[in-house]
Amino acid sequence: GDSVTQMEGPVTLSEEAFLTINCTYTATGYPSLFWYVQYPGEGLQLLLKATKADDKGSNKGFEATYRKETTSFHLEKGSVQVSDSAVYFCALSEGRSGGGADGLTFGKGTHLIIQP
């Protein structure tokens, strides 16, 4: 079945540091890939997405590129801020047709802590 593997935290960085959170996946088809963020005390929010190989999703200074050859979707940001402290989830959707479940498969989440 489908699976998502991401680095587990907590990951602690200083403000303005470069961030990479690794994410790799296994899927039978050609999934869409997502990064979701969960800020303390808040719900799950879509951060960015990519639907096909070589697509780059970007939002709020975060970027991730859909790499089919390495089955990866690593999240990066050039200069993190204290306000980026949150839990980040990598996820995929196979988008299967013909009935059956079509929800998201999530990684375990990475707790990011940014220190001033």
Interface with other proteins, residue 109, by CB under 8 A: yes
Binding mask 44-63 for other proteins (x = CB under 8 A): xxx--x-x------------
Token readout for 88 is 């980040």
- Cβ 79 vs Cβ 91: under 8 Å: no
Number of H helices, E strands in the chain: 0, 12
Interface with other proteins, residue 101, by CB under 8 A: yes
Interface with other proteins, residue 98, by CB under 8 A: no
Residue 112: helix, strand or coil by DSSP?
strand
- CA dihedral (11, 66, 78, 45) positive or negative: negative
Interface with other proteins, residue 99, by CB under 8 A: yes
Interface with other proteins, residue 11, by CB under 8 A: no
- Cβ 75 vs Cβ 60: under 8 Å: no
Give 16 or 60: the residue with its C-beta nearer to other proteins.
Answer: 60
**Total Cβ atoms within 10 A of residue 108:** 13
- Cβ 92 vs Cβ 39: under 8 Å: no
- The distance of closest approach from Cβ of residue 3 to other proteins in the complex, given in angstroms and rounded to an integer, is 11
Interface with other proteins, residue 29, by CB under 8 A: no
Indicate which single residue of 29, 43, 98, 116 sits in contact with other proteins (rule: CB under 8 A). 43
List residues near other proteins by CB under 8 A. Answer: 32, 34, 36, 42-46, 49, 51, 89, 93, 99-109
